[in-house]
């Protein structure tokens, strides 16, 4: 949630941000009208409370009948006004939910992901003397992926990792997890389900559509997490963090559940776009300073890049445009890894600075010079199953074998996945 003082003081700045993010600007007038009503009622409430305090101070012994009568009248008025104030405040907060975080000034302006900007391309694409195969064709031939059985068991957009494929999957996750804990990140394996209020606090969906946006069990008020961020960031809700613990850095492993609504027809072949996958992710809490949190964002991005370099994969870093920023994000970088079987770069991760947008709902603060301020919160992918699929396509050989990246050998216990004779 944005700071309403920003909207009060710089409405034109917020309006420009909404236009750039392809959002309806009419919401601003509604918010300012509701905020005016809220402040008027708040003033009336404070005036009555002051009158009550004045009467209390005027007592010298037993109160007079007039003082008692006035006190009762003020109490009745206050109760009525406070009820109205609560309703107006609730409606105001509902309207504020619709306002996303303001993009950084250097974020490219664009309507959707088609207008994201390539910042840099790193690494050499592999050269083959044969036509490279799709990861699904490779996986099925090696008997390490199975989407047909998954469709029978679970429906579309699911898959099995089998045999050496399952070992490779776990090796990739543990390699990344271990690498970051060695860097000083605190390891975390969070719950896979969270309360609806907790999901709302993360800022990606409004209260009106929480259960519809995610896989959920409404009767138990539980929502399956779409990434570990949704369970780890709220770990510090309603806390005032010590200044000396910042930056507070977590690396998390979790299953992730995605409905993938609105993606019908996209990436239908294989396991690029699925309803369930595993992920290692970073979440970091920093000082409430844009220079500090933006610098941390670049540091986290460099770690994600280092992982892809270690694995020998070519990738592009994308600067996401305003129309492709999730609700809480000030800025976002996508990392797109080369898939030779698809003959294109596909997204395998991202890195985002959400500033204090999530911290306001979570009420996560830090005390600086005696003053409590909302922290900045960042998130970044480390690896997902998609990186494994990129490994299959990039390190395939003519006979259908897969050479395993050297950094994974200590974890897999094998260097090659070969066709069964």
Give the model confidence (pLDDT) of 204-227 as tens digits: 887 677 888 899 999 999 999 999
Among the listed residues 20, 170, 125, the one whose alpha carbon sits nearest the alpha carbon of residue 338: 125
Handedness of CA 30, 35, 36, 40 (dihedral sign): positive
- Quick check: is 29 catalytic? no
- Quick check: is 273 catalytic? yes
Domains identified in the chain and CATH numbers? 4-96 (1.10.287.40), 113-417 (3.30.930.10)
> Is residue 360 over pLDDT 60?
yes
Catalytic residue among 8, 37, 258, 259: 258
- Quick check: is 347 catalytic? yes
In this prediction, residues 378-382 reach a mean pLDDT of 97
- Quick check: is 206 catalytic? no
Measured between its terminal Cα atoms, the distance across the chain in Å is 58
**C-alpha to C-alpha distance for 99 and 206, rounded to whole angstroms:** 11
pTM as predicted: 0.92
Check residue 263 and give its pLDDT: 56
Catalytic residue among 249, 331, 360, 386: 386
Give the model confidence (pLDDT) of 133-191 as tens digits: 999 999 999 999 999 999 999 999 999 999 999 999 999 999 999 999 999 999 999 99
Question: Quick one: DSSP state of residue 280?
Answer: E
**C-alpha to C-alpha distance for 5 and 127, rounded to whole angstroms:** 55
**CB contact at 8 A, 381 and 285:** no
Give the model confidence (pLDDT) of 292-336 as tens digits: 999 999 999 999 999 999 999 999 999 999 999 999 999 999 999
Catalytic residue among 8, 37, 49, 273: 273
Residue 32: phi and psi, rounded to 5, are -65, -35
Check residue 276 and give its pLDDT: 94
Give the model confidence (pLDDT) of 21-60 as tens digits: 999 999 999 999 999 999 999 999 999 998 888 877 766 6
Residue 264's pLDDT band (cuts 50, 70, 90): low
**CB contact at 8 A, 191 and 223:** no
Catalytic residue among 89, 154, 347, 373: 347
Residue 255's pLDDT band (cuts 50, 70, 90): very high
- Quick check: is 386 catalytic? yes
**C-alpha to C-alpha distance for 364 and 350, rounded to whole angstroms:** 23
**C-alpha to C-alpha distance for 307 and 286, rounded to whole angstroms:** 23
* Strand-pair category, 344-353 with 365-368: unpaired
Question: What Rg do the C-alpha atoms of the chain give, in angstroms?
Answer: 26
In this prediction, residues 351-377 reach a mean pLDDT of 96
3-state SS, residue 397: coil
Check residue 60 and give its pLDDT: 67
Q: Degrees (nearest 5) of the Cα angle 42, 44, 45?
A: 65
Catalytic residue among 226, 254, 350, 380: 350
Q: Tell me the CA distances in angstroms from 279 to 143, 170, 225, 246, 396, one per residue in order.
A: 23, 10, 11, 24, 23
In this prediction, residues 255-269 reach a mean pLDDT of 74
**CB contact at 8 A, 55 and 71:** yes
**C-alpha to C-alpha distance for 206 and 218, rounded to whole angstroms:** 15
Give the model confidence (pLDDT) of 323-334 as tens digits: 999 999 999 999
* Strand-pair category, 222-224 with 193-195: antiparallel
């Amino acid at each position: 949630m944005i700071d309403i003082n920003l909207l009060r003081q710089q409405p034109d700045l917020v309006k420009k941000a909404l236009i750039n993010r392809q959002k309806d600007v009419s919401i601003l007038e509604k918010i300012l009208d509701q905020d005016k009503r809220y402040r008027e009622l708040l003033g009336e409430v404070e005036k009555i409370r002051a009158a009550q305090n004045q009467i209390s101070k005027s007592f010298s012994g037993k109160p007079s009948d007039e003082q008692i009568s006035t006190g009762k009248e003020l109490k009745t008025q206050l109760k009525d006004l406070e009820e109205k104030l609560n309703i107006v405040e609730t409606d105001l907060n509902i309207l504020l939910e619709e306002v996303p975080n303001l993009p950084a000034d250097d974020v490219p302006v664009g309507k959707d992901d088609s207008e994201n900007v390539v910042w840099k391309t790193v690494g050499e694409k592999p050269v083959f003397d044969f036509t490279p195969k799709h990861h699904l064709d490779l996986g099925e031939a090696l008997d390490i992926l199975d989407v047909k059985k998954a469709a029978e068991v679970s429906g579309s957009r699911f898959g099995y990792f089998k045999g050496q494929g399952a070992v490779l999957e776990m090796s990739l996750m543990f390699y990344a997890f271990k690498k970051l804990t060695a860097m000083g990140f605190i390891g975390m394996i969070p719950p896979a389900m969270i309360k609806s209020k907790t999901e709302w606090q993360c800022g990606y969906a409004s209260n009106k559509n929480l259960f519809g946006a995610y896989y959920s069990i409404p009767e138990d008020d539980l929502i399956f997490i779409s990434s570990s961020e949704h369970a780890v960031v709220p770990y510090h809700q309603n806390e005032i963090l010590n200044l000396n613990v910042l930056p507070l850095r977590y690396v998390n492993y979790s299953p992730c559940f995605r409905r993938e609504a609105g993606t019908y027809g996209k990436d239908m072949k294989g396991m690029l776009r699925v309803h369930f996958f595993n992920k290692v992710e970073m979440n970091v809490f920093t000082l409430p300073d844009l220079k500090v949190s933006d610098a941390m964002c670049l540091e986290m991005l460099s770690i994600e890049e280092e992982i892809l370099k270690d694995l020998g994969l070519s990738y592009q870093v994308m600067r996401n445009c305003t129309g492709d920023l999730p609700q809480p994000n000030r800025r976002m970088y996508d990392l797109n890894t080369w898939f030779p079987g698809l003959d294109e770069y596909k997204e395998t991760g991202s890195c985002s600075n959400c500033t204090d947008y999530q911290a306001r709902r979570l009420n996560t603060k830090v005390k600086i010079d005696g003053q409590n301020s909302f922290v900045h919160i960042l998130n970044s992918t480390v690896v997902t199953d998609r990186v494994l699929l990129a490994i299959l396509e990039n390190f395939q050989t003519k006979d259908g074998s897969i050479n395993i990246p050297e950094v994974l050998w200590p974890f897999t216990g094998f260097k090659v996945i070969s066709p069964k004779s």
